[in-house]
Chain A
Amino acid sequence: MTATDLVRVERLSADYRDGAGWRPVLRDVSLTIRAGEVLGLAGESGSGKSTLAALLLGETMPERRIRAGHVRFGGIDLFAAPRDTVQALRGRRIGFVPQNGGASLTPTMRIGGLLRSLLRHHRPELSSRDVGVRAERVLAEVGIPDPPAALRRFPHQFSGGQQQRIALALALACEPDLLVLDEPTTGQDAVIRQAMLALLRAIRRERHLSILFVTHDLATLAQLCDRAAVMYQGEIVETGPAPDVIERPSHTYTRKLMAALPRMDDAALADRVAAQ
């Protein structure tokens, strides 16, 4: 580990309440994300990858408990630090995009209300004029057409793909150091998925932030990530440079995940989207 590690997950074990008892969901997980690095986290549903993503934001809930280990963000232990300290990191230094971006947008609030209240809370030094300018700029950055009009609209007035982009804009608005993406392309068709990946590559180029990209789809890892980690039944079974993990998988589970990949068409699509 080096001084440039932004996130350090140290021997983390967590349980999930399952009916009567506790079921382990993470077993002795260690992981680092360096400043400016894009780490892909792959695994099938139930492997614990979404839990790990949520714990990077220090999220606590009654049906989950930390049994052992630490999550450190910029040196701060998220499960030992005061609640206010953690809450100040969320949204400000750590942006989170959930799988269903549309459902993450409060239906009774306009896009402008969502973005502006977030900016005003985390960046109180900004004038209301600057808040408006930033809100428009971040919507333009994620490819929402006509940002001034979009700010006046409600979430349901956008398509699913656009809602996902707005969720991304909310995660990016306060210029975080880390972006946690929990399956942001799952459940979308191939064209929208490729457009989202192209957008994420562009954001990465412009912003120099760190990204944790959670997916069950190894093919998308290859298009975006520097390093990849593979999870299986709550454990990290393989980590390494993304091309190595994908082309020369050492763990039998990774080989099985790779073998399940059908997607020649995705690579072709990626080229088409890139050409546009």
Chain B
Amino acid sequence: MTRALLRLIGARLLLSGLSLLAVSAIVFAVMEALPGDTAQRLLGRDATVQALAVLRAQLHLEQPAWARYGDWLGGVLHGDFGTSLVARRPVLPYIAGHFGYSLLLGGLALALHIPLSVSLGLFGAATRRDGPIDAMISAVALLGMSAPEFVIGIFLVSILATTLGWFPPLALIDQAHGPLEVARTLLLPVLTLNFAMTAYVLRQTRNAMFDVLRSDYVRLAVLRGLPPRHVLLRHALPNALAPAINAIALNAGWLVGGIVVVEVVFNYPGLGRLLVESISFHDVPMVLGAALVLSATYIAINLAADVALMLLTPKLLVR
């Protein structure tokens, strides 16, 4: 029974190594293609040619690109992700710290997203199809889905933070004291992300539940005299969750990118903001490290979703 599951996980782990290698090569190539380098960024426009040359030598920037990539890759294989060209310190502790913040924000966003969108979808399915409640839920959710998250973020900030003053406009979590203040700083970014994500899962759950409730097996469960609670929890819900999990996985994947934008809007010290800042400073080892961690997260989310899907779908699990 678990053989199919183990085969899936094994194959994915093998593939993910190749994916990460490809990601690092592409990111390195793109960084090389960008104009300018770290020395220029650090010293500014008025730097003398000599000063630039000295700094480039210190940062080993005069070596050819393939040699720098090879050095970096060799280091990674030994667990050394390199040294930041700007901070001149190992990138790993930096990335770990920022990743922790991103994980907190993304985790909280998902922790709200999954029960909220699934239960709204189930609620929509419980009302009359295309009735007033169903239509209203869908309309609000679609509005959230069609607006870009930086628009929603700025909109929420201007109303809830600037006008009403209920929440801080910036999510300066590293300066927050105590869990209550942390929650206050995180609320707006979490809401912004949820606005963007809810519609899709909600509609998938609602449509799946509508179909399942009209299925032969739910009809027969009722005609076999089983109580409504049992029919809903054992016969209907598990079959409506598979499409919902697909949608949640897509959203969680989107979240890896969406969080970058939201972190910049709220000046939140996560991995996304670190990535954007490091790109502007041409800090190649930092960019590579951050990109690898984001990619690995994306891969892990998809694998977790496929495992959950398989556990919920006996047809995939046992043949």
Q: Interface on A for B, CB 8 Å cutoff?
A: 54, 57, 59, 87-92, 96, 98, 100, 103-110, 113, 117-118, 121-122, 153-154, 156-157, 167, 170-171
Q: Nearest chain-A residue to B242 (Cβ)?
A: A108
Contacts of A105 in B (CB 8 A): 217
Contacts of A89 in B (CB 8 A): 225
The answer to whether the Cβ of B60 comes within 8 Å of any Cβ in the partner chain is: no
The answer to whether the Cβ of B89 comes within 8 Å of any Cβ in the partner chain is: no
Known: A107-B239, A108-B312. A117 touches B226 (CB 8 A): yes
The answer to whether the Cβ of B75 comes within 8 Å of any Cβ in the partner chain is: no
The answer to whether the Cβ of B5 comes within 8 Å of any Cβ in the partner chain is: no
Tell me the minimal C-beta distance from B271 to chain A in angstroms.
37
Closest CB pairs A-B (n = 6)? A91-B225, A90-B225, A91-B224, A103-B216, A104-B220, A154-B314
Known: A103-B215, A108-B238. A121 touches B227 (CB 8 A): yes
Q: Interface on B for A, CB 8 Å cutoff?
A: 215-227, 230, 234-235, 238-239, 312-315, 318-319
Q: Would you list 13 pairs from A and B whose C-beta atoms are within 8 A, ordered by A residue?
A: A87-B227, A89-B225, A90-B222, A90-B225, A91-B223, A91-B226, A98-B216, A100-B216, A104-B216, A107-B217, A110-B314, A117-B234, A170-B220
Known: A100-B216, A107-B217. A170 touches B239 (CB 8 A): no
Contacts of B314 in A (CB 8 A): 107-108, 110, 154, 156
Contact of A118 with B216 in the complex, beta carbons under 8 Å:
no
Tell me the minimal C-beta distance from B163 to chain A in angstroms.
46
| Interface SS majority for chain B | helix
Contacts of B313 in A (CB 8 A): 107-108
Q: Of the candidates A54, A90, A100, A153, which one forms a contact with B224 in the assembled complex, judged by CB atoms under 8 Å apart?
A: A90
Q: How far is the CA of A170 from the CA of B226 in the complex (A)?
A: 12
Contact of A87 with B225 in the complex, beta carbons under 8 Å:
yes
Contacts of B318 in A (CB 8 A): 153-154, 157
Contact of A104 with B225 in the complex, beta carbons under 8 Å:
no
Contacts of A96 in B (CB 8 A): 220, 223-224
Tell me the minimal C-beta distance from A22 to chain B in angstroms.
19
Known: A98-B220, A100-B216, A108-B239. A88 touches B225 (CB 8 A): yes
Contacts of A157 in B (CB 8 A): 318-319
Tell me the minimal C-beta distance from A129 to chain B in angstroms.
22
Contact of A106 with B239 in the complex, beta carbons under 8 Å:
yes
Contacts of A121 in B (CB 8 A): 225-227, 230
Q: How far is the CA of A96 from the CA of B216 in the complex (A)?
A: 12
Contact of A59 with B226 in the complex, beta carbons under 8 Å:
no
Q: How far is the CA of A100 from the CA of B319 in the complex (A)?
A: 21
Contacts of B315 in A (CB 8 A): 107, 154, 156
Tell me the minimal C-beta distance from B3 to chain A in angstroms.
15
Tell me the minimal C-beta distance from B242 to chain A in angstroms.
9
Q: Of the candidates B222, B224, B234, which one forms a contact with A109 in the assembled complex, judged by CB atoms under 8 Å apart?
A: B234
Q: How far is the CA of A87 from the CA of B217 in the complex (A)?
A: 16
Q: Nearest chain-A residue to B236 (Cβ)?
A: A106
Contact of B239 with A122 in the complex, beta carbons under 8 Å:
no
Tell me the minimal C-beta distance from B125 to chain A in angstroms.
15
Q: How far is the CA of A246 from the CA of B239 in the complex (A)?
A: 44
Tell me the minimal C-beta distance from A171 to chain B in angstroms.
8
Q: How far is the CA of A54 from the CA of B216 in the complex (A)?
A: 13
Tell me the minimal C-beta distance from A55 to chain B in angstroms.
12
Contacts of A92 in B (CB 8 A): 225
Contacts of B216 in A (CB 8 A): 98, 100, 103-104
Q: Of the candidates B215, B221, B223, which one forms a contact with A57 in the assembled complex, judged by CB atoms under 8 Å apart?
A: B223
Contact of B217 with A106 in the complex, beta carbons under 8 Å:
yes
Known: A103-B216, A104-B220. A109 touches B235 (CB 8 A): yes
Q: Nearest chain-B residue to A89 (Cβ)?
A: B225
Having A59-B222, A117-B234, one finds 5 other A-B pairs with CB under 8 Å, namely: A88-B225, A118-B225, A118-B226, A154-B315, A156-B314
Contacts of B230 in A (CB 8 A): 117, 121
Q: How far is the CA of A109 from the CA of B221 in the complex (A)?
A: 12
Contacts of A167 in B (CB 8 A): 220
Q: How far is the CA of A253 from the CA of B259 in the complex (A)?
A: 70
Tell me the minimal C-beta distance from B239 to chain A in angstroms.
6
Q: How far is the CA of A91 from the CA of B220 in the complex (A)?
A: 9
Q: Nearest chain-A residue to B221 (Cβ)?
A: A106
Q: Nearest chain-A residue to B317 (Cβ)?
A: A154
Tell me the minimal C-beta distance from B246 to chain A in angstroms.
15
